[in-house]
Amino acid sequence: MENTIEKKAGTKREPRTCNRTELALRYNPNLTASAARKRLAAWIARHPTLVSELRMAGFDERQRTYTPRQVAIIMEALGEP
């Protein structure tokens, strides 16, 4: 699994630290912050391997910020927002 995300132009950029709300709103821009967080959490929970990969990367359900590695894992599993 790579630590970079490919942009549409083919260049790569490093994912950055991102709080839960910010990332959730990137995936669900038309929802309220609360609804977007709940939807992203549901997508993560339903993904067959995402939760275990995130836990291996140090994820804890109580944390408020995703590390760059965790953001990369989420984007790889769900696609770029």
Q: Residue 33 above 90 pLDDT?
A: yes
* Domain encompassing residue 74: 5-78
Band of pLDDT at residue 15, cut at 50, 70 and 90:
confident
User: Which of the two residues, 34 and 12, has the higher pLDDT score?
Assistant: 34
Could you report the per-residue pLDDT of 37-77, keeping only the tens digit for each? 999 999 999 999 999 999 999 999 899 999 999 999 999 99
Q: Domain tally for the chain?
A: 1
pTM for the complete prediction?
0.80
Q: Residue 24 above 70 pLDDT?
A: yes
DSSP codes joined into one string, the chain: --S-EE-TTS-EE----EEHHHHHHHH-TTS-HHHHHHHHHHHHHHSTTHHHHHHHTT--TT-SEE-HHHHHHHHHHH---
